[in-house]
Structure 1
Amino acid sequence: MTHSFDKDYWDQIWDGDRAAAMAAGQPNPHLVREIADLSPGTALDAGCGAGAEAIWLATGGWQVTAADIATTALARAAERAAASGVAARVRWVEADLARWQPDTRYDLVTTHYAHPAMPQLDFYDRIASWVAPAGTLLIVGHLHHQDHASGTGHGHDETGPPASASVTAADITARLDPLVWQVVTARESHRALPGHGGHAASIHDVVVRANRRP
């Protein structure tokens, strides 16, 4: 199936029958592990969904800008942030990440399975340009995998992510100029989460963390 990944697509996902489960998700374990050694600063969560990662960052002392195209996702995220006591540390922005430009650069720019209506690697190039000098880029994406297994928790049908939204670690690191970036992590991982009907879902991730040189 071909998806446009436009606003209508994501609004339908977040107004659908899986939205409540997606909104109750926990912060991505790759984020929790990869930024444990960073001092809190300013962060951008690009494609924040219902805000699990943004709220986790805010709880840890980060000042977060969280952007997503889906109105319902942002409404759920804002409610969850208020309930968590961190509403003052998160700015929610409804934006098409294929077109939106932030007015500043950030100490941390992170994204988790986001794919707007543009080529996936071009999207990663785009968000990389929003990292401040000496800042960190963390990309968690769908690994280009032969069967494109489903179950990301960020809004896909049962066929899983399409090939156009999937990449490898090498695909990403090849776009990072070594004169500008120091690659810290380039890993492809496989993990299992509880799926629909009690069946385990296999998650195939690509994780790239890079530091922008000062």
Structure 2
Amino acid sequence: MAATDEAERFWEERYQRSDRIWSGRVNPVMAEIVEPLKPGRVLDLGCGEGGDAVWLARQGWRVTGVDISATALERAAVHVAEAGVAERVTFERHDLATDFPEGEFDLVSAQFLQSPVDFPRDEVLRRAAGAVAVGGVLLIVEHGAAPPWSDHAHADFPTAQETFDVLRLDPARWTAERVDAPEREATGPDGHTGILTDNVIVARRTR
């Protein structure tokens, strides 16, 4: 089986195992960073069931949400319609390993764009940077460590600096506004709380 077929099958099966996988709430780290920005066009990579897309549209952004899973995108379309923001959101199905949406955006958001199946993540993140318009922002939030309740507790995760470095951004054209790894308390699926580490990378294209 080709890697791209394996990825599509994995995510389709994961979404089809449950009526809802994610909480439907916006990622709080993203909300904190994006709220002060002037709304424009945003590309939401790995949009899932549309929680971030709904929030972004409510803030005035015009959203292009992208995911590999048709099931996820169907649910996301329902959620934005129920929220009354469907006119501000477009969803596109892409396997980012082989296909990337066209255009430039004022914000490109990659929230936890990490996969247990084969995925050329470094290349995808560099393409994400290439989609940022002059004056725009690339925002990456990712797991810096496995959640305490995860089956992947001993897996290797990149540091925020390592992720920033793979972007290969030209310092004459980009400014790194934030590269760090804050911790936050969260509640796991079993109801127990734990401390999560999020890598946060914010880079602005200046020219």
Q: TM-score, normalised by structure 1?
A: 0.85
Deviation at 1:15, TM superposition (A): 1.1
Residues 103/119 of structure 1: CA separation in 2 closer, same or farther (3 Å cut): closer
Q: Which residue matches 1:185?
A: 178
Deviation at 1:195, TM superposition (A): 1.4
Q: Which residue matches 2:34?
A: 35
SS in 1 for 2:95: coil
For residues 25-73 of structure 1, give each alpha carbon's deviation from its aligned partner in whole angstroms, at most 9, with x where no partner exists.
3101111111122111000000000111111111111111000001111
Pick aligned residue for 1:159 from 151, 158, 177: 151
Pick aligned residue for 2:162 from 168, 171, 188: 171
Inter-partner Cα distance in structure 1 for 2:81 and 2:148: 31
Deviation at 1:159, TM superposition (A): 1.1
Deviation at 1:94, TM superposition (A): 1.0
Q: TM-score, normalised by structure 2?
A: 0.88
Q: Which runs of 5+ in 1 are unaligned?
A: 152-157
Residues 64/162 of structure 1: CA separation in 2 closer, same or farther (3 Å cut): farther
Cα pair 1:142 1:161 within 8 Å, conserved:
no
Share of identical aligned residues, percent? 34
Deviation at 1:163, TM superposition (A): 4.1
Q: How many residues align?
A: 200
Q: Which residue matches 2:127?
A: 126
Q: Which runs of 5+ in 2 are unaligned?
A: none
Q: Which residue matches 1:195?
A: 188
Deviation at 1:108, TM superposition (A): 0.5
Greater Cα offset, 199-208 or 81-90: 199-208
Q: Which residue matches 1:208?
A: 201
SS in 1 for 2:103: coil
For residues 91-116 of structure 1, give each alpha carbon's deviation from its aligned partner in whole angstroms, at most 9, with x where no partner exists.
01111011223221101000111136
Inter-partner Cα distance in structure 1 for 2:106 and 2:50: 19
SS in 1 for 2:17: coil
Q: Which residue matches 1:46?
A: 45
SS in 2 for 1:210: strand
Q: Quick check: 1:149 aligned with 2:147? A: yes
Q: Which residue matches 1:68?
A: 67
Deviation at 1:150, TM superposition (A): 5.2
Inter-partner Cα distance in structure 2 for 1:53 and 1:68: 13
Q: Which residue matches 2:15?
A: 14
Counterpart of 1:173 in structure 2: which amino acid?
F
Deviation at 1:203, TM superposition (A): 2.2
Q: Which residue matches 2:139?
A: 138
Inter-partner Cα distance in structure 2 for 1:190 and 1:127: 25
SS in 1 for 2:38: coil
